[in-house]
Structure 1
């Protein structure tokens, strides 16, 4: 943002200086014309030159105002673009445990409507803020050379306006923050309602939510009205203070003019110039409220952009090249989130090698998904380390690798997959969703990935084939089809490390078998496969099983799978067994 606004601020300062000079020249020319015509009795022909010059000043001020507006619009557009880009990049970099994962509605509102509030800041508030510094100082120096008493009155009364503005601004900040919190809550709640609408309809609770939305809308309306109320009252206070200050100057000038202490020309010049000293400050107060929402949104953006206090597992910097690794080693890795006493992931150690499937088992909430996210670099480790082992035995710590380069070697299938088109367009096709994993792959590679995921025949049977559009929320696809397309998306990039988080959850036996076979084939072709498993079919194909919460690793065996089946049917916690190792 600093890059895009630096030249704009310089331009605003220059136009502010020019505006101040033009204001003084305008007052001098206007007072001179009035005095010559009304006081000295000159004809209009004799003052036509001064009138022409005055008209040029008016035109120059209008051109400067227009130019400033154009510069402000362009600077605002550039700043908003940079802020949006930086925010989206930061949100994507922090992953599911970042701000977007915890408050997606608030982040979406911030990136769209919130940042748009900066238009008022750039187009109105910032230029007036610069003028509020330059113009009063220039006018004070000019008045001091014409009438010292008037200059003293202006110098004493002008600081009162910023004092009032500070007091009003402190109160307004709280009102704007309340307005923003209410809007963010409404956005998040509406997003949750849309996603959960089928559930609400099934349980007959949809109409009750309409009342909740109405109540939240009323809260937002009252918060907005409170901000407007403060705006109107503050404008009244500032106008009253400026009017009283100008009246003091006018009374002083009038009395001394009547007593003959001031000339008619000087008195008129001072009376025309004094209001111009207060005008920029009054306009600053007026535009402050229009810019307050945008400034508050920018503060929230900068909070998101602040660097994390902890070191990330995968550093954004470091060596760009990732070695041709054959194994992933996790050594006493643990995670504890800020503000919590219990660990989200107890210390765990294991080694996953190429050509094998490593199953992570344990009770729900034990930290399996946390471990997967830590491997991808979205969560910092509290203790321990993660590294990859190359063919020659060389070890490279993940913290030394570039995140983008590291993730380019990883395939990922989450619990609840979302299909997004590789072109980031509004319409998602099966082809576009798969190419998200490898944007430059050809049709043959896409079909190979679909065959590997066991869904090629179903896609081929669709009228539009690969060009079949996927509706919002993947409606129209079964859970099995969704997971297999997500698996194809991961397989198309031929990852060296394939991470799967309960890929068969909610699938029928046929779909589960297709996914399990695809996972096994990927391992047989040389990939390192790590899968979070709650179902026996996945544990059955595993070469090693790691219990999260117990951090012990063992080869998979029929006995361990049989033990898992018994526990699942009995409904007892999965963390207690999965065989004896």
Structure 2
């Protein structure tokens, strides 16, 4: 772990400003330490040798008190700035990570890690940056500035004490580096174990119903127990290194201060050193080592946060698929064409889609059907720009999607995925995610069109826990209708609905889809019959389709 990661400061401007504040505060704190020690040494020495009166000592005491007050103010300013900086940096990194993962595409993100690992890194991992900005970084600046300034003042007051300090102080960073190298590997192992545990546990919760249905719950409980035990062992190993580093630093600092104190005492007895100079050096000696000792303790406060930041910064450094800057006019629904596209998922021998050519005409509702695994959802990801084809291209009104501004393109799309995401808020709040500036009448109209039989002020619960599966799907459809987009993508929109509700819903949303480019992934005959054309995918290895007229709909079979 690098004490100051340049990537972190390049990514977040707030971190650079905070570092500048820390440097200024560190210099001011070092000066105040010297002033405070000088005032106290003068009062004690003159009081003992010359009988300094209270009135004569008062100015020195006031100076010492002012120095203490100034250091307190600096501490308060530093903590306030640290809290604000930490919040700003965490928000910046989280948004940058989210934007990067969206731009990277669903396939690449899924191939790299599991959902639990990314969520853990972006939440608990980045939350640990509070320790870095609130405690470690300010202490790092103090450990750099204060020992240097104070050691120079000691050298000016007592040359021998200054030499002892100059010889012993470098020992602390040396041992910190040695212990840090070992503790870093322990921290990395702990973080990896925590990521594995988090990811595995999240996947178990997602598939809990399936595990119970097949009687695999007890076996997976044992897997979780082993993962938790591995996390316990790595955590205890990290704590052992933390205590060991604290012991080493305290021992070196204590012996060093003792050497300075013994040398001062012997020379004071022999008359080879003035009392004021000796007291000044003795008061300042612990201040040289104190910031370094505290830095060793703060290192472990920051290690987890920096480990998570390192993961995120490494991801942000990964090259992204090329993205253009062309923005198409949004006057009418676009024509979308996939030309000879091939998509291969990592770890699979057969391509999900192979040399497929298909066109989605503007103003028409097209159904995508076929067996599971035929690549239907993959085609939606290609249209959304969440995945890039390994071969071929996607065009919008004749323009290659790779040359378009993807953010502007997605702003024209309403998408209902297989598993719609529901936030912890009211039903109306969730519908408004489609268009935050929509008024109550528009929200109510969208809910009515989607046949959502739930009060708009009802709380949906986290991930829709207070709603049924059918209600969640209809809520997502209402959100898509409210968006009023020129391109509408549905992925199994009526899954979990009974036939009567499905028929009523399709009839209700038909007017809202008029004049739009609409693609519907479905396995249900009623939905296919509702659509104006149907594209059937035969599965992996499917090639360009050939259109044939079947009743009122055009059916293209990719085989």
CA contact (8 A) 1:143 1:270 kept: yes
Q: Is residue 77 of structure 2 the alignment partner of residue 67 of structure 1?
A: yes
CA contact (8 A) 2:342 2:351 kept: yes
Query: CA 1:473 to 1:45, structure 2 compared with 1: closer, same or farther past 3 Å?
Result: closer
What's the secondary structure of 1:529's corresponding residue? strand
Show the counterpart of 1:496: 486
CA contact (8 A) 1:544 1:554 kept: no
**Of 158, 165, 171, which residue of structure 2 is paired with 1:160?**
171
Deviation at 1:195, TM superposition (A): 3.6
Deviation at 1:401, TM superposition (A): 2.8
1:287-319 deviation per Cα after TM superposition (whole angstroms, max 9, x unaligned) = 11111112222223323434543325xx5x443
**Of 65, 80, 91, which residue of structure 2 is paired with 1:81?**
91
Show the counterpart of 2:4: none
**Of 537, 541, 552, which residue of structure 1 is paired with 2:544?**
552
**Of 243, 251, 271, which residue of structure 2 is paired with 1:240?**
251
Show the counterpart of 1:112: 123
Deviation at 1:473, TM superposition (A): 4.9
Q: Is residue 13 of structure 2 the alignment partner of residue 10 of structure 1?
A: no
**TM-score by structure 2 length?**
0.84
Q: Is residue 33 of structure 2 the alignment partner of residue 23 of structure 1?
A: yes
Show the counterpart of 1:439: 436
CA contact (8 A) 1:327 1:528 kept: yes
Deviation at 1:228, TM superposition (A): 1.9
**Of 409, 413, 417, which residue of structure 1 is paired with 2:412?**
409
Query: CA 1:129 to 1:238, structure 2 compared with 1: closer, same or farther past 3 Å?
Result: same
Show the counterpart of 2:7: none
Deviation at 1:191, TM superposition (A): 3.1
Query: CA 1:321 to 1:277, structure 2 compared with 1: closer, same or farther past 3 Å?
Result: farther
Show the counterpart of 2:309: 298
Deviation at 1:202, TM superposition (A): 4.5
- State the alpha-carbon separation in 1 of the partners of residues 275 and 403 from structure 2: 79
Show the counterpart of 2:380: 372
1:251-281 deviation per Cα after TM superposition (whole angstroms, max 9, x unaligned) = 4444444554433333332222222111111
CA contact (8 A) 2:104 2:386 kept: yes
Show the counterpart of 1:350: 358
- State the alpha-carbon separation in 2 of the partners of residues 558 and 318 from structure 1: 38
Query: CA 1:12 to 1:546, structure 2 compared with 1: closer, same or farther past 3 Å?
Result: same
Deviation at 1:130, TM superposition (A): 0.6
- State the alpha-carbon separation in 1 of the partners of residues 154 and 349 from structure 2: 66
Query: CA 1:55 to 1:451, structure 2 compared with 1: closer, same or farther past 3 Å?
Result: closer
What's the secondary structure of 1:267's corresponding residue? helix
CA contact (8 A) 1:543 1:555 kept: no
What's the secondary structure of 1:379's corresponding residue? coil
What is the alpha-carbon root mean square deviation over aligned residues? 3.5
- State the alpha-carbon separation in 1 of the partners of residues 338 and 93 from structure 2: 37
Q: Is residue 153 of structure 2 the alignment partner of residue 142 of structure 1?
A: yes
Deviation at 1:70, TM superposition (A): 2.5
Please give the residue correspondences for 1:205-220 in structure 2 after superposition, counting only pairs within 5 Å: 206=217, 212-220=223-231
Show the counterpart of 2:6: none
What's the secondary structure of 2:545's corresponding residue? strand
**Of 37, 43, 67, which residue of structure 2 is paired with 1:33?**
43
1:77-113 deviation per Cα after TM superposition (whole angstroms, max 9, x unaligned) = 3333333444444455556446589533333333333
CA contact (8 A) 2:327 2:409 kept: no
CA contact (8 A) 1:544 1:555 kept: no
- State the alpha-carbon separation in 1 of the partners of residues 160 and 350 from structure 2: 71
Show the counterpart of 1:572: none
Show the counterpart of 1:334: 342
Query: CA 1:344 to 1:309, structure 2 compared with 1: closer, same or farther past 3 Å?
Result: farther
Q: Is residue 425 of structure 2 the alignment partner of residue 427 of structure 1?
A: yes
Farther off after superposition, 407-416 or 253-262: 253-262
Please give the residue correspondences for 1:194-273 in structure 2 after superposition, counting only pairs within 5 Å: 194-203=205-214, 206=217, 212-273=223-284
Show the counterpart of 1:532: 521
CA contact (8 A) 2:535 2:558 kept: no
Query: CA 1:44 to 1:485, structure 2 compared with 1: closer, same or farther past 3 Å?
Result: closer
CA contact (8 A) 1:12 1:127 kept: yes
Query: CA 1:50 to 1:467, structure 2 compared with 1: closer, same or farther past 3 Å?
Result: closer
Deviation at 1:42, TM superposition (A): 4.0
Show the counterpart of 1:311: 322
**TM-score by structure 1 length?**
0.81
Query: CA 1:580 to 1:558, structure 2 compared with 1: closer, same or farther past 3 Å?
Result: farther
In the alignment, structure 2 segments of 5+ residues that lack a partner are 1-10
Show the counterpart of 1:567: none
- State the alpha-carbon separation in 2 of the partners of residues 554 and 521 from structure 1: 29
